[in-house]
Amino acid sequence: MQDNPQTAISDAESHVMEVLWQSPAPLVAEQIVDALSRTRNWQAATVKTLLNRLLKKGAIAAQKDGRRFLYHAVLQRDDWLAAESNGLLDRLFGGRVAPLVAYFGSRRKLSAADIQELRKLIDEFDDGE
């Protein structure tokens, strides 16, 4: 397995990963193709290419089941989210959350509900210290 497979997951590959993360059981390629056909206009060959890339990266594993393979995620969604989030913060905001929130606030991308939720989170973090 690669040292940091989560940093190497492309946007297209992340859609395949989402299907696997949402499934409680391993899936065959046809099930993944079917799930993605609802949101993407991808051919089966495209999905199989993405599965092979993810296998090589160690983000997923496959187990032979007769004439087909059952795929499941090795990379945990929380680990991937943490790496992606930290990478974004590091690249764009020097690793700090406050400038990120300030940026969205200055662009009026925060709704009243967002602001209320942020206040609640800050209060919870303050109570935890």
Report the CATH number at residue 17: 1.10.10.10
Same domain, 17 and 54: yes
Number of domains in the chain: 2
Instruction: For residue 83, tell me if it sits in a domain.
Output: no
Same domain, 9 and 67: yes
Can you give the pLDDT at residue 6?
46
Domain extent for 121: 96-129
Residues of the chain with pLDDT under 70: 1-7, 129
Same domain, 61 and 20: yes
Handedness of CA 73, 79, 84, 87 (dihedral sign): negative
Can you give the pLDDT at residue 1?
39
Can you give the pLDDT at residue 38?
85
Mean pLDDT of the chain: 90
CB-hemisphere CA count at 13 Å for 64?
2
